[in-house]
A = this chain, B = another copy of it.
Amino acid sequence: MTATSAFITSLLTSFGIFCGLAFAFGILSKWKINHNIYYPSRILRGDGVSPSATKRNPFTWIKEAVMTSEEELVRVAGLDAAIYLNFFACILEIFGYSALFCVPVLIPIAATSHNNAIQFALDPNQTYEGFDNLAMGNVEEQTPKIWAFLVGTYWVSISTYVVLIKHYKKMIRLRGKEQAHESAKPQQFACLVRDIPAPPKHMSRREQVNTFFKKLHSDTYETCMIVTNVRKLMKIWTKYQASKRNLERAEVVFEESKTNAKPEGTRPMHRLRFFGFVGTKVDSINFYDEEVKDLARAVEIERQRTLKEEQLPAAFVFFNSRRAAAEAAQAVHAPYAMQWQVYPAPEPREVVWNNLAKSVYSRMVRSGVVYFTVFMTVLFYMIPIALISSFTTLDNLVRILPFLKVIVNYKPINTVLQAYLPQVALIVFLALLPALLMFLSRLEGIPSQSHLVRAASGKYFYFIIFNVFLGVTLFGTIFSSLAGFKELLNSKNFSVSSVVTLFGSKLPPVAAYFITFVALQFFVGYGLELSRLVPLIVYHLKKKFMCKTEKELEEAWAPGPFEYHTLVPNDILILMISMAYAVIAPMILLFALLYFAIGYVVLRNQALKVYVPDFESGGRMWPHIHARILAALFIGQITMMGYFGIKKFPYAVLVLILPLFTVFFSSICKLNYYPSFNVMSLAIASEDVKDAPPMRQIVEAYTPECLLSEEDVVYESEEKFEDARSSIGSRSVSRSNSGVLSSTEDLYML
Contacts and interface: CB of A to CB of B under 8 A. Distances in A.
Interface string A322-333: 010011001111
A169 interface: yes
A368 B173 CA distance: 28
Nearest to A675: B337
A566 to B, nearest CB: 28
A686 B334 CA distance: 11
A664 B372 CA distance: 11
A660 B375 CA distance: 13
A216 interface: yes
A335 B672 contact: no
Mostly, the A contact residues are helix
A493 B494 CA distance: 8
A541 interface: no
A398 interface: no
Interface string A663-707: 010011001111110111111101000000000000000000000
Interface in A421-473: none
So how many copies of this chain end up in the complex?
Answer: 2
B215 A333 contact: no
B493 A364 contact: no
A597 interface: no
A495 interface: yes
Contact of A334 (B364, B668, B671, B681): B681
A364 B671 contact: yes
Interface residues of A, number: 47
Given A364-B668, A493-B492, A664-B364, A682 B336 contact: no
Given A330-B331, A331-B330, A338 B673 contact: yes
A169 B683 contact: no
Contacts of A664: 364, 368
A740 to B, nearest CB: 33
A439 to B, nearest CB: 22
Interface string A362-376: 001000100010000
Contacts of A671: 338, 360, 364
Nearest to A667: B364
A674 B172 contact: no
A686 B215 contact: yes
Contact of A682 (B331, B360, B372): B331
A525 interface: no
A681 B337 CA distance: 8
A594 B509 CA distance: 65
A216 B335 contact: no
A176 interface: yes
Minimum-distance CB pairs A-B, first 5: A338-B672, A337-B675, A176-B335, A337-B676, A332-B681
Interface of A: 169, 172-173, 176, 180, 212, 215-216, 323, 326-327, 330-338, 340, 360-361, 364, 368, 372, 492-493, 495, 660, 664, 667-668, 671-676, 678-684, 686
30 contacts: A169-B336, A172-B336, A216-B683, A216-B686, A327-B327, A327-B331, A330-B330, A330-B331, A331-B681, A331-B682, A332-B679, A332-B681, A333-B681, A333-B682, A334-B683, A335-B681, A335-B683, A336-B676, A337-B672, A337-B673, A337-B674, A337-B676, A338-B671, A338-B673, A361-B668, A364-B667, A364-B668, A364-B671, A492-B492, A495-B495
